[in-house]
Structure 1
Amino acid sequence: MSLSELPSPVWPIVVLLVIQAADAAILLHPPKFIVDCLESVGFPRDWWWALSMAKAASVVGLTAGIWIPGVAMTTTAAVIVYFILAAAAHIRARALTTTFWVNCLGMLLLSVAVLVVSFVRW
């Protein structure tokens, strides 16, 4: 088993970056289910903008990483860490609603799948 520095195939990276871009945009004016999610884990409203910026940064990293070796792999790993921390916040707050199971864990699994499919060579 080895790791590739450039994604191949690229399409999983594109899927992840489109989702992250949409999520960054949605966080600028979050719908009720996201407001409920952030409030349920006790994330301070004054810091919600930081989540949008982190997601926007991941879009930049994923996009650049299509052509710059190592960048998309590192960014995908950072997205995985983001969702591990989000899952930990949900578990700590005992906020184990549908949002946790579908959105948080779903994105964690998707991000891990993208890392494996696009970068791991068997």
Structure 2
Amino acid sequence: MIDYWWLTALLAMVLLIDALMSIRPPMFIVKCLDGVGFPRDWWWTLIVVKLAAAAGLAVGLAYPGVASAANAGVIVYFLCAAYAHYRARFMTQEFWINCLGMLGFSIVVLVLSNV
């Protein structure tokens, strides 16, 4: 049986980098959040959520149930983001690459980590 722990670690690292980038968001993040109409006063909450998810995934490397729960939370986060894009009719490159790409990656990590 192959152990895919590194996928969980990679997802945690990607979320950590995303959270750190969101502190001073580059234009593609600004365009995405403005495009879905997410209030700028609430942008900080996304940083907290991503940091919590990354921490949960990291802790989950030692405690697999924690990783599964954090991974499921990441999937819910990106499902909500996809719905926000759909509802705002903001179906640009940010939606297809960033949002759905991360949703797909999160699902793959959950499936392969629980084989």
TM-score range, shorter chain: over 0.9
- Unpaired segments of 5 or more residues in structure 1? 1-7
| Structure 1 residue identity aligned to 2:20 | A
Please list the CA deviations of residues 33-55 of structure 1 after superposition, one character each: whole Å capped at 9, or x if unmatched: 11011001000000000001100
Among residues 32, 36, 45, which one is paired with 1:41 in the alignment? Answer: 36
Q: Give the percent of matched residue pairs that are identical in Structure 1 and Structure 2.
A: 50
Counting matched residue pairs gives 113
Higher helix share: 2
Partner of 2:99: 104
Partner of 2:68: 73
How far apart, CA to CA, are the structure 1 residues paired with 2:64 and 2:9?
A: 16
**When the two structures are superposed, what TM-score results if normalisation uses the length of structure 1?**
0.90
**When the two structures are superposed, what TM-score results if normalisation uses the length of structure 2?**
0.96
Asked which structure has the greater RCO (Cα within 8 Å, sep 6+), the reply is: 1
Paired residues for 1:27-38 under 5 Å: 27-38=22-33
1:69 Cα deviation (Å)?
3.6
Corresponding position: 1:117 with 2:109? no
| Structure 1 residue identity aligned to 2:22 | L
Indicate the SS of the match to 2:22.
Answer: helix
What's the RMSD between the two structures over aligned residues? 0.7
Corresponding position: 1:84 with 2:87? no
Corresponding position: 1:14 with 2:9? yes
Partner of 2:89: 94
How far apart, CA to CA, are the structure 2 residues paired with 1:114 and 1:9?
A: 8
1:68 Cα deviation (Å)?
1.7
Ranges of 4+ aligned residues in structure 1 off by more than 3 Å: none
Corresponding position: 1:57 with 2:52? yes
